[in-house]
Amino acid sequence: MQVLEKVQALIARASITPEDGGCLDLIASWLMPLGFSIERMDQGGVSNLWAKRRGSNPQGKIICFAGHTDVVPTGPLEKWTSPPFTPEIRDSYLYGRGAADMKSSLAACVVAIERLLARRAASADSLALLLTSDEEGDAINGTVRVVEALKARGEAIDYCIVGEPTCVDQLGDTVKNGRRGSLSAKLIVKGVQGHVAYPHLVKNPVHLAAPVLAELVAATWDDGNEDFPPTSLQISNAHAGTGAGNVSPGTFELLFNFRFSTASTAEGLQARVHDILDRHGLAYDIHWTLGAKPFLTPRGQLCLALSESITRVTGITPVLATTGGTSDGRFIADICSQVVEFGPTNDSIHKIDERIAIAELEYLAQIYEGTFDRLLT
C-alpha cells in the first residue's frame, strides 16, 4: 500500500475524539512486519500506542514520530460535498475528515519507514511511534500518559517529529520548532447585588472591574524574544447579571488566557495579575489552569535534518516558527530535548470538506524518509 491507499484506509475509520475507530490496530498491523514491538497504553477510554523497533546499540538514539488518530467532529453532514468518513478524490485532492489533520502524516510516516528499512534494515539507533486518540479533545489520557510511563521507566527520546499540519501556503514552507505556553484564568469579581434604582445600596462588580480590565488589556507582559512573539492576553468570556434589566449583579465572571513566550513564566504572570487585582482593592476569587508550558527546540541536528530533507524534496527553505495553538509536543518535550512539528498545509483543517492535495502525500513520505535517514546511524 502506498501513502494514498493508507490515508484512505485511515479516513474510512470514523475516529471522532477520543474514539480511535480501529486506526491504531491498523497502523500496528503495518508496523509489526517491519520489526516493531507494539505496546498499548490505553487509559480512561483513550487509545494509546507506543511502537518501537530497537536498533543494534542499546545506548543508541531513539528517533520518534508522534501523532494522533482522533479527529474533530464533522459539523453538519449535509454541508459536506461527500461523506466525511468516505474518502473521495476530486480535482487532485483527497477529501475526508482527518485528511490534513493528521491521517496523511501517519500514513506518510509508515510508508517512509517501510522504504527506509528496505534500503537499510540494520541501524544502531531505534525508531519509534507515539500515537494517541486524545489530541483533539481533553488531552488528559493521551500522549501525556505515555510520556509519564516512559519517564517512569527511564526511557527518553532523542528526536521527535510531530506530524501536525504546519505548512501555510505550500508543503515545506513552515516547521514549528516550539510552541507558546497557555495559561487560563477564571476570575470572579465580588460585589453586592441590588436594585439599579438604589446605587448607594449596591456594589456593581462590573463597574469595579472595568479599570482592572483596562489595565490588564493594556499591559505589556514581555517583549518576546528571537523565537517567540510577545506574550498576549485575550479575554474570551465575560458574564454578569440575573437576566433582569433592573438588577445590579452580585458577581462578574471573566475568563481570560495568556499565550506566553519563554520570556515569561506562568508564576510570574500570575503574580502580576494578582498585584493588579489587589492594587485596585477588588474582592475576588481566581482559578488558574496551566494548559501548556512553552517549549523550544534549538536550531540543532533535528531542525537541520528536517530542513535539508524538505529542501531536497520541494526546493523550499522552510521557516522555523512558534506560532499557533498548543500541540502534544508540549508533553513530549518533557522527555525529549529536540521536538519539532511538520506536516501538510493547514488551510482546510477542522473545516467542512477537509482535504489534502494528493501530490503532497508522496512528498511528505519522502521528507520523513529523508529526515529519518539523516538522523539514523
CA separation (Å) from 354 to 123, 165, 181? 38, 12, 28
Q: Grid coordinates representing 241?
A: 447579571
DSSP string, 65-82: EEEE--B-----GGGSSS
Tally of CB atoms within 10 A around 348? 18
Residue 101 assigned to a binding site: yes
Cell of 29: 498491523
Residues 135, 341, 360, 369: which is the catalytic one?
Answer: 135
φ and ψ at residue 6, rounded to 5 degrees? -65, -40
Q: What is the largest CA-CA distance in the chain?
A: 83
Q: Is the Cβ–Cβ distance between 63 and 372 less than 8 Å? A: yes
The span from the CA of 292 to the CA of 339, in Å, is: 15
Asked if 278 is an active-site residue, the reply is: no
Phi, psi angles (nearest 5°) of residue 66: -120, 145
136 labeled binding residue: yes
Marked catalytic residue, from 19, 20, 70, 134: 70
Q: Is position 19 annotated in a ligand binding site?
A: no
- Return the closest-CA partner of residue 340 out of 227, 231, 238: 227
| 292 within 8 A of 330, measured Cβ to Cβ | yes
Instruction: Please report where in the chains the cell 462588580 appears, as a residue.
Output: 205
Question: How far apart, in whole angstroms, are the C-alpha atoms of residue 154 and residue 309?
Answer: 31
Query: Does 135 participate in catalysis according to the annotation?
Result: yes
**Count, residues in the chain:** 377
**Which residues, 6 or more positions from 239, have their beta carbon under 8 angstroms from its beta carbon?**
252, 253, 254
> Hunting for cell 545506548 — which residue is that?
59
Could you tell me how many helices (H) and strands (E) the chain has, helices first? Answer: 9, 19
Task: Please state, in angstroms and rounded to a whole number, the distance separating the CA atoms of residues 221 and 232.
Answer: 7
164 is in an annotated binding site: yes
At position 280, the amino acid (one-letter code) is H
Alpha carbon distance 140, 292 (integer Å): 12
Active site residues: 70, 135
Binding residues: 68, 101, 136, 164, 350
Binding residues for Zn(2+): 68, 101, 136, 164, 350
